[in-house]
């Protein structure tokens, strides 16, 4: 990107020596599955601080209804799970990443069970494994039906709090990563944060792990909690890290669609248990659209729902759960939500509509979780490992957070730790200090803007609406070009300002990340996975690459997809 998006290194002016100083070995920004698992692994080697933007009930993990994909019995195979992941990824998954994460699934899930995670079980006491869209076998572990994320969050939080050498900072907002130079590639030495009680603080760390979650709040309709404002993506970009595959935003097909109601997620596990989608006339439509019918990949189902709405008018389709046995017992969370609107899953049709759900692209990493900026790792939804390709397979996200959190946490926590040849997978030299960094004099000198002001709430609302209408489920070049112009305009009058509260910083982060998503979608002149262009309806071989975006760079670089799913993990 050009202009103001690339000029601003920090969100606020500050002098590091005038702020309170905190020190740790490893700093983790984010307290969902990836952040807590990374913190646990790093704690085996030294002191750790995990920072939560809000409280631990409002992470994307805690809100997750879907389960954890893992091959846990002989009736299934890792080869099948790999094949399903590659199929959903539409030709741009990196094979070694897929194989690494799928093969470690069993170890990580059994570890959770040993730590006390309560999973659903059958009458004989064995694990009750469900099936979700895109999977060819029942390999999804759930907890209390639709409350897997809540139970996973509880398990990891309890384990982390009981681990010596760990601290947890809640309600603490990370503004920016600390680098001694504004030039891309300068090493990360921690983060500058804001706490409502303690104000601004400098947290210095030998290694910093981004685990800040996704970007669903960029869109008017989303399943994500309010904290998912793309902060990690924006921080990493300002610090000079490379972002990849930013056009790929996954939309969940089924969220509750009622006037005055938040867009509550209706888990895909319901369709795995027998629920079906109906059009306005009460007719099933997915069996004609895809061989897997109602369990087709999410991008297929989302687009077909939008087409049905366009053909028949109205604002939603119906989810028929009346054939799901013991609905209230198996899906208690959804049952509670429905009761608030006098609906019952075993009696009533549920109005549903797609909504933004998961950021597939993110901060580019290798298979140790390392970015191309020394000292900086990224794990979970904020990262792009190559696992998901162009479209995440259901329930692979919690799995990725577990596996890559453990790997990156161990690597960040251990002393030394260069790659064997001293070069990062993206081709950049990579090293980090073996001791905690000393406070480095850093001055962010930002002059007050002389430009006029826009109403911040209006900018935020208009951005989310424009992203939903123009960078949503189906896109075209003319609308993408228009929304880029809109974002640039809002950016000229917002990114140059100095704010002193979280809302202002979030809006600046959202503008930066939205600009990247829209530009990546405009550049990718094809349809692939969850990126659909009406003016380029087919995939094109020349776009079977990862597009890489970095501060100061005009347009994307590209790198080839790493095939070889049968090869040894990198």
Point out the residues that are catalytic. 298
CA distance 397 to 400: 5
Let me know: does 382 contact 212? Beta carbons within 8 Å: yes
Which tokens is 413 given? 């926590």
What is the distance between the alpha carbons of residues 560 and 311, in angstroms, rounded to a whole number?
Answer: 39
Report yes or no: 182 and 201 within 8 Å, Cβ to Cβ. Answer: no
Q: Which of 536, 469, 556 minimizes the C-alpha distance to 246?
A: 556
Count the neighbouring beta carbons within 10 Å of the beta carbon of residue 3: 11
* CA 346 – CA 228 distance, rounded (Å): 32
In whole angstroms, how far apart are CA 245 and each of 5, 261, 526? 18, 32, 13
- Count H helices and E strands in the chain, helices first: 17, 21
Write out the two tokens for 19: 């702020």
d(CA 562, CA 570): 11
Half-sphere exposure of 211 (CA within 13 A, CB side): 37
Burial 105-130 (b: 16+ CB within 10 A, else e): beebbebbeeeebebbeeeeeeebbb
Q: Residue 165 and residue 48: Cα distance in Å, rounded? A: 6
């Amino acid at each position: 990107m050009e202009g103001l998006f690339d000029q601003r290194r920090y969100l606020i002016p500050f002098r590091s020596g005038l702020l309170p100083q905190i020190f740790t070995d490893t700093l983790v920004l984010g307290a969902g599955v990836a952040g807590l698992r990374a913190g646990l692994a790093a704690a085996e080697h030294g002191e750790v601080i995990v920072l939560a933007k809000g409280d631990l009930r409002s992470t994307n993990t805690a809100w997750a209804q879907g389960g954890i994909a893992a091959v846990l019995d002989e009736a299934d195979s890792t080869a099948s799970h790999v094949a399903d992941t590659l199929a959903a990824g539409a030709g741009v998954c990196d094979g070694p990443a897929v194989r690494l994460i799928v093969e470690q699934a069993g170890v990580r899930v059994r570890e959770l069970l040993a730590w006390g995670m309560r999973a659903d079980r059958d009458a004989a006491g064995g694990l009750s494994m469900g099936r979700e869209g895109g999977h060819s076998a029942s390999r999804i572990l759930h907890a209390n039906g639709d409350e897997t994320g809540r139970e996973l969050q509880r398990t990891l939080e309890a384990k982390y709090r009981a681990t010596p050498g760990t601290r947890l900072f809640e309600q603490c907002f990370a503004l920016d990563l600390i680098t001694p130079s504004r030039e891309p590639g300068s090493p990360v030495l921690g983060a500058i944060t804001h706490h409502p009680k303690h104000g601004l603080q400098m947290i210095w760390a030998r290694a910093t792990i981004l685990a800040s979650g996704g970007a669903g709040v960029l869109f008017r309709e989303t399943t994500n909690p309010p904290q998912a404002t793309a902060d990690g993506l924006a921080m990493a970009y300002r610090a000079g890290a490379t972002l990849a595959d930013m056009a790929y935003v996954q939309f969940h097909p089924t969220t509750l669609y009622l006037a005055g109601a938040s867009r509550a997620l209706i888990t895909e596990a319901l369709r795995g248990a027998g629920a079906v989608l109906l059009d306005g006339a009460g007719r099933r439509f997915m069996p004609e659209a895809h061989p897997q019918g109602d369990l087709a990949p999410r991008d297929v189902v989302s687009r077909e729902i939008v087409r049905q709405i366009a053909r028949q008018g109205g604002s939603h389709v119906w989810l028929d759960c009346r054939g799901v046995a013991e609905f209230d017992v198996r899906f208690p969370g959804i049952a509670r939500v429905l009761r608030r609107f006098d609906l019952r899953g075993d009696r009533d049709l549920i109005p549903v509509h797609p909504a933004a759900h998961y950021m597939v692209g993110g901060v580019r990493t290798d298979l140790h979780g390392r970015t191309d900026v020394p000292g900086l790792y990224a794990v979970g939804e904020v990262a792009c490992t190559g696992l998901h390709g162009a479209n995440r397979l259901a329930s692979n996200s919690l799995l990725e957070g577990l596996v890559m959190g453990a790997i990156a946490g161990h690597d960040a926590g251990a002393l030394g730790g260069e790659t064997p040849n001293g070069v990062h997978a993206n081709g950049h030299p990579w090293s980090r200090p073996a001791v905690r960094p000393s406070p480095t004099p850093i001055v962010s000198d930002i002059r007050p803007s002389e430009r006029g002001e826009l109403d911040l709430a209006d900018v935020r609302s208009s951005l989310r609406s424009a992203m939903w209408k123009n960078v949503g489920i189906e896109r075209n070049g003319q609308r993408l070009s228009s929304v880029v112009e809109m974002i640039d305009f809002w950016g000229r009058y917002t990114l140059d300002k100095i704010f002193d509260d979280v809302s202002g910083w979030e809006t600046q982060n959202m503008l930066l990340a939205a600009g990247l998503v829209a530009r990546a979608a405009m550049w990718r002149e094809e349809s692939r996975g969850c990126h659909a262009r009406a003016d380029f309806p087919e995939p094109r071989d020349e776009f079977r690459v990862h597009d890489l975006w970095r501060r100061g760079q005009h347009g994307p670089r590209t790198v080839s997809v790493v095939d070889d799913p049968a090869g040894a993990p990198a």
